[in-house]
A and B are shown apart, each in its own frame.
Chain A
Amino acid sequence: MIIKVLGSGCARCNQMETLTREVLKEMGVEASIEHVREIKKIMEYPIMSTPGLVINEQLVVSGKVPDKAKLNQIIANALAKEK
């Protein structure tokens, strides 16, 4: 699973990364996480407000940091799609 956190460095964007790492660890999922900070790269995805979360090149969250349960669900869905 390839995960990208889109954000230019504000507190919430960092929160997104921290939470994602936490959830991945708890779920025992292997994934590469890249924190994309450059605006040109961020805009490769149809995002209008940071922070954003991209899983396997699909934008799944934008605009806010989801709560843990929801993030769990999102990652689980992405896992299911991979199979």
Chain B
Amino acid sequence: MNSTAPPETRPGGHQYRLFMWLGLGLAVWIAVYYWLQPLADFLTYRVLGLSAAGHLGSSVAFFLYDAPKVFMLLVLVVFGIGLIRSFFTPERTRRILAGKRESVGNVLAASLGIVTPFCSCSACPLFIGFVEAGIPLGVTFSFLIASPMINEVAAILLYGLFGWRIALIYIVTGLIIAIIAGWIIGRLKLERFIEGWVLERRNSNNAETTASLTLTDRFKYGLNAVREILGKVWLYVLGGIAVGAAIHGYVPQGVLASIMGKGAWWSVPVAVLIGVPFYSNAAGIIPVVQALMEKGAALGTALAFMMAVVGLSLPETIILRRVLKWQLLAVFIGVVASGIIIVGYLFNYIM
């Protein structure tokens, strides 16, 4: 009886089809990915006839390989993370964190910061929601630090341009900074610097409004994430890779070692200082950072710069001013910036 029914009414038939599409997509993706480098070389050296030893040839080959590679990685990982995020909501995260004491809470909050969907404009409602649920201030901050700092677009770009080790270092140090900075802020007992009206709220309604999602919903969520994020960053990514390609092909080796290299001790704090007011768009910055590093900039400095851009978003801190008094805001920025600077020095030292 069941075999003659249309797929949609057969139990599990719909899910089966979704997984088939997923598998197909992945297979196509892998196939294309393997052909990117040979294709880029072919187009540059055979079709366009550029010389492999020349500046232009070098730049063009770099661009033709890196641009599609980065976009393909973006699509894959943003979709994947979107799927994971569909399982987490701020309400659920709050429920998990409520009642956890500090240190454990800090670690949990930072980890959840990665998988919970979060946009800067939600910083205030989320902060208030966490405070009302009795989550310690330091734990809330661990979440608020980890969420923007550990950016999947940044991680993807780092992986695509520097390899998995650097991407992993970025994620791990981001977590460590979030955990420790949040813990420190907790120890400082700064609750009195939360805006009065937040603390006076009696209207704490912890109701959840979200219903459970189907697999199709989750796939749609992932696809939406891809469309949204790609739509926002594609121009920056293209631009960044183009600049990176130019630096790769034209700037001679070692030129930057003197100003951005290990020798210049002030390069790390300066990099962080420059990074903070940058409007937070990891996408365009990283390809530039890669090319700079090829020419002598130190890893620690580059990493610190990138984390300052992504992790200390000036627009978000301005928004947080509505719920935090400036003293708390200043401590928040100071602790995170110090953490980033320390990480920068650390990597300049050990690499």
| A63 to B, closest residue via Cβ | B89
CB-CB contacts below 8 Å: B107-136 with A = 117-122, 124-126, 128-129
Residue B4 at the chain A interface, CB threshold 8 Å: no
Q: From known contacts A44-B203, A49-B125, infer whether A10 and B209 are also in contact, taking CB-CB under 8 Å.
A: no
A12 at interface (Cβ–Cβ under 8 A)?
yes
What residues of chain B lie closer than 8 Å to A12, measured between beta carbons?
119, 121
On whether the beta carbons of B209 and A8 are closer than 8 Å, the reply is: no
Who on chain B is nearest to A42 by CB?
B125
Q: Is B119 in contact with A48, judged by CB distance below 8 angstroms?
A: no
Main secondary structure of the interface of A (DSSP, over half): loop
Interface size, chain B (Cβ < 8 Å): 28
Using an 8 Å CB-CB cutoff, how does the interface string of A37-71 with B read, 1 for contact, 0 for none? Answer: 00110111011111000000001111110010000
In A63-83, the 8 Å CB interface with B consists of: 63-64, 67
Residues of B within 8 A of A67 (CB): 220
B118 touches A43 (CB 8 A): no
Q: Is the CB of A7 within 8 A of B126?
A: no
List B contacts of A48 (CB < 8 A): 89-91, 94, 122, 125-126, 129
Bound state CA distance, A48 and B131, in angstroms? 11
CB within 8 Å of B: which of A14-39? 39
Docked Cα-Cα span, A61 to B91, in Å, equals 13
| Residues of A close to B220: CB separation below 8 A | 67
Decide if B117 touches A60 in the complex (CB within 8 Å). Answer: no
A9 to B203, CA, bound (A): 24
Which A residues are CB-close (under 8 A) to B91?
Answer: 48
Q: A39 near B125 (CB under 8 angstroms)?
A: yes
**Cβ contact within 8 Å between A39 and B209:** no
Q: In the complex, what's the smallest C-beta–C-beta distance from B144 to chain A, in angstroms? A: 13
With known contacts A43-B201, A48-B91, A67-B220, A60–B209 Cβ distance under 8 A = yes
Is the pair A9, B121 in contact by a Cβ cutoff of 8 Å? yes
Q: How far is the CA of A13 from the CA of B121 in the complex (A)?
A: 9
Q: Give Cα A12–Cα B231 distance, bound, in whole angstroms.
A: 13
Chain B's closest residue to A47 (CB) is B125
Contact of B121 with A43 in the complex, beta carbons under 8 Å: no
Residues of B within 8 A of A9 (CB): 121
Name which residue of chain A comes closest to B133, CB basis. Answer: A48
Could you say which residues of chain B place their CB within 8 Å of the CB of A64? Answer: 117, 221
Q: Which residues of B contact A (CB under 8 A)?
A: 89-91, 94, 117-122, 124-126, 128-129, 197, 201, 203, 205-207, 209-210, 220-221, 319, 322-323
A residues sitting closer than 8 Å to B (CB atoms) are: 7-10, 12-13, 39-40, 42-44, 46-50, 59-64, 67
| 15 contacting pairs across A/B (C-beta < 8 A) | A9-B121, A39-B124, A39-B125, A42-B125, A43-B128, A43-B203, A46-B206, A46-B209, A48-B122, A48-B125, A48-B126, A49-B117, A49-B119, A60-B209, A63-B117
